[in-house]
Amino acid sequence: MTMRRLVHCALALAVSFAGLAALYLNLGAEFAGLAQLLVYVGAIAILIVFAILLTQGGEAGPDKVFSPAGLAGAVIALAVFAVLAWAVNISSVTRQSIVAPAPPTAMRDIGFTLMQRYVLPLEVIGLMLTAALIGAVILAVRQKVSEPAAKPAAPQNTELRA
């Protein structure tokens, strides 16, 4: 959020999605990690980048890469991190020594649940993403059509008539 160019922010978002997928894979949640890679990095982040580029939101700004409000953002982020760390530290959940193992769930069970119980939300999300991409294309086309063509300058008459 401290970067000035919107395209750089979108690419940083894609990197953070990939990092989250790596954390899921490291924790042993293969389905969540691979779904994160496929859906968020492979689809959502790329859709955001294309929408920004189509609407010309990635225009070159000032020469500086980082925003001057970056220091304030870093201070706020550290404050939020400190509050969350404090809340986790005093939580009674972290003091439990015995944690029940999660029931084993097969990829097949997850796939059946997604395609039977949650098929409507999946389709609605797909339609919303398609509508967002179509909207970005329409905005880009309208902007291109509304830009006036460069007209040649009319000759100026510098003579005074009596």
Q: Where are the domains of the chain?
A: 6-91+106-145
Residue 109 pLDDT? 84
* Residue 32 CB neighbour total at 10 angstroms: 16
Please name the CATH architecture into which domain 6-91+106-145 falls. Answer: Up-down Bundle (1.20)
Q: What is the pLDDT of residue 31?
A: 85
Q: What is the pTM of this model?
A: 0.52
Token pair 């989250």: residue:
20
Ranges of the chain with pLDDT below 70? 1, 56-68, 93-99, 143-162
Euclidean distance between CA atoms 162 and 159, whole angstroms = 10
pLDDT, tens only, 39-56: 888 888 888 888 787 776
Give me the residues paired with residue 3 across strands.
66
Q: List the structure tokens of 102.
A: 């999660």
Q: What is the C-alpha separation between 130 and 134, in angstroms, rounded?
A: 6
Predicted confidence at residue 120, as pLDDT, reads 92
- CA 123, 53, 69: angle at the middle one, nearest 5? 105
pLDDT, residue 82, reads 96
pLDDT value at residue 26: 92
pLDDT on residue 21: 92
